[in-house]
Amino acid sequence: MEKINSFTRVKLKKKFSKVLVIYSGGTIGMVRNEENIYVPKAGVMAEKVKAYPQLYDLDEANEYRDKYHKENILVLPDTGDTSRVVYAIQEYNPLLDSSNVTIDDWIKIAMAIKEAYEVFDGFTILHGTDTMAYTASALSFMLENLGKTVIITGSQIPLYEARSDGLHNFLGSLIIAGNYCVPEVTIFFNNKLFRGNRTSKVSTSSLEAFNSPNLSPLASIGIGIQVDWKNIFYHSTIEKFKVHHTLNRNVGLLRLFPSITIEVVRAFLNPPIEGVVLQTYGAGNGPSRRKDILDELELAHKRGVIIVNCTQCPLGQVDPSYETGRALIDAGVLPGSDMTPEAALTKLSYVLGKTEWSMQTKCDMMRTNLRGELSVHKEMKLEDSDVVTAVVKALGLSSSKELDDLRDTLYPSILCHIVSEGNLEKLDIMRQCGAYLSACDYDYRTPLHIACENGNVAIVEYLLQHGASVHMRDREHRTPLLSAIENDHHEIIKLLIRAGGYLNLKNTKVGEIICSAAKENNLRRLISLRLAGADLNELDATQRSALHYATEMNFGDIVCFLLQHSIDISVQDLYGNTCYDIAKLLNHNKIQEMLEKHICI
């Protein structure tokens, strides 16, 4: 795939978001050949979308092109959402029909996201529908500690045809990826956003090609966009985003049917198979009177084959309370709850690829809800906060929609107020009542922004452990990490970096901040910047480094700190002066000695 790096040097004045479109192939970009058959056509997608005013704002794009000379930048028209979406298309070579997708293609897509992760705010993958659910499930496990929106979409009718569903699918995925932080791998189809590992293709001809029978949509697009924030899956670890690209290929699906022969079962379970999704009847039932099959399953289990029981029914889950299902558990088969076959298979491939895990850990992980792929039922015993209850009574609200709208309106302000007070107990109550912990106030600040600004380590840690996004930006485009840096909260900076935060600023901007700290003798700020991953050698617009300014101002502590952290003393400013030249010229003898010692070392 062609490298996309045109955004790394572009700074737009308007509030914007950047989305990378990974075009792997599929019906959405196909054209009819001379035999009237749909085939992929390379090199036309980026140009074709310019013909659609819903996908391309010519005037805005021309303004960017003239100003920044970036030919491959595409811009959505103003959709009335928080941010204007700027996007680029990265095209597979060759383009694929999704029936030909393999594990290698999953790895390729995952690595493309990894490479561009810090440049883009969200990702849209254009993909064929036939194996879309497999790709979405696989990526959901491979993309560990995901903190940004990844949406897979496609179409039943090619984009270039008059009745195509591809236009709305593509447009909707771009809007959501650019404006809503849903840190999951999802599928967007027919105005609904589904969790990817809960989704299956259900129709070859309907525009409602996908469904998620055991989980309601995460978002729906009508006149507005409604996101079910309570349903979003969040990671509970404070770790950076990474890609696990080692997948086990020795996995398979074995569907039971009446009178299945023992020879078929035995052949399927023989080496090199290491993981099996056993598709059973009803609530996870198998032929309990078929001792030959049960014995073969038990032998495979003892050889180290992980076997997971999933129902053939699209709706419902495995229930081991039936005698026929209990017999499978006794044979070593793991209950798969309500996982789709696609999710169970790709999860097996992922778990078996974790060579650092023991066999017991792998079995435990197959029963654990890793990415929202299986249901975990919790009893809710806490009521909404008193303030919400009071407002409900005062306004006389009764319908569920009115209550939901009220919560959506009040919760962000309540959360931010609770965090500003440092009240962890109330924050926990709000979370258990379904409050979205990355909700924005009127300045687009999240609770994490406020906790970072106030220096409350305990609340920052709590928010990160419950899925608060480190990538959200306020009205001034500041992330929580920048809030922590501006207030020099070092422990919080370390936490945010552990959670995947990073300095998403141009090098020249970072240079200006570093040089400003040096000029102001602000050692604590320099420590903050270093903890956040800034290169202390960055220069400002005059090609001067922080060491130039510290030397000129005769700030010995700053010079000492910079020298301890691999600062380059040979850099010359616009006038050709090194730091040593400046120290000598101004008779700053102590600094001159420090620089001389550093040169000798």
- Look at residue 336 and give its three-state secondary structure: coil
Positive or negative, the Cα torsion across 45, 46, 50, 53?
positive
Question: How many residues appear in the chain?
Answer: 601
| Tally of CA atoms within 13 A in the half-sphere of 326 that contains its CB | 3
Q: Say if CB 250 and CB 287 are below 8 A apart.
A: no
Vertex 122: Cα angle to 118 and 126 (nearest 5): 120
3-state secondary structure 490-502: HHHHHHHHHCCCC
Cα separation of 169 and 191, whole Å?
Answer: 7
3-state secondary structure (DSSP) of residue 587:
coil
- Report which of 347, 112, 88 is spatially closest to residue 243, judged by C-alpha positions: 112
Beta bridge partners of 194: 187
State residue 320 phi and psi, 5-degree precision.
-75, 5
Distance CA 522, CA 28 (A): 55
User: Phi then psi for 244, rounded to 5 degrees?
Assistant: -95, 110
CA distance 144 to 4: 23
Would residue 27 show up in a list of annotated catalytic residues for this protein? Answer: yes
Q: Extract the tokens encoding 568.
A: 């380059």
Cα distance between residue 45 and residue 37, in whole Å: 18
Task: List alpha helices for 56-165, DSSP H.
Answer: 58-68, 103-116, 132-142
Question: Is 284 in contact with 318 (CB distance < 8 Å)?
Answer: yes
Q: Which helix (H) or strand (E) holds 135?
A: helix 132-142
Q: Which secondary-structure segment (H or E) carries 514?
A: helix 507-519
Considering Cα of 432, then 436, then 437, then 443, what sign does the dihedral take?
negative
Q: Given the DSSP bridges, would you call strands 74-75 and 38-40 parallel, antiparallel or unpaired?
A: unpaired
Rounded to whole angstroms, the Cα distance separating 586 from 575 reads 15
Closest CA to 331 of 308, 359, 348, 312: 308
Task: Please identify which of the residues 8, 27, 82, 149 carries the catalytic annotation.
Answer: 27
Residue 11: which region, alpha, beta or left (left: phi > 0; alpha: psi -120 to 50)? beta
In sequence order, which ranges of 554-588 are alpha helices (DSSP H)? Answer: 556-564, 579-585
CB-based contact 482:472 (threshold 8 Å): no
Exposed, middle or buried, 207 (CB in 10 Å: 0-12/13-18/19+)? Answer: middle
From residue 475, how far is each of 9, 14, 18, 181, 446 by CA, in Å? 21, 10, 16, 16, 11
Scored b (16 or more CB within 10 A) or e, 287-307 reads: bbebeebbebbbebbeeebbb
- State the DSSP H helix or E strand holding residue 390, giving kind and residue range, or none if neither: helix 386-395
**Which residues does the annotation mark as catalytic?**
27
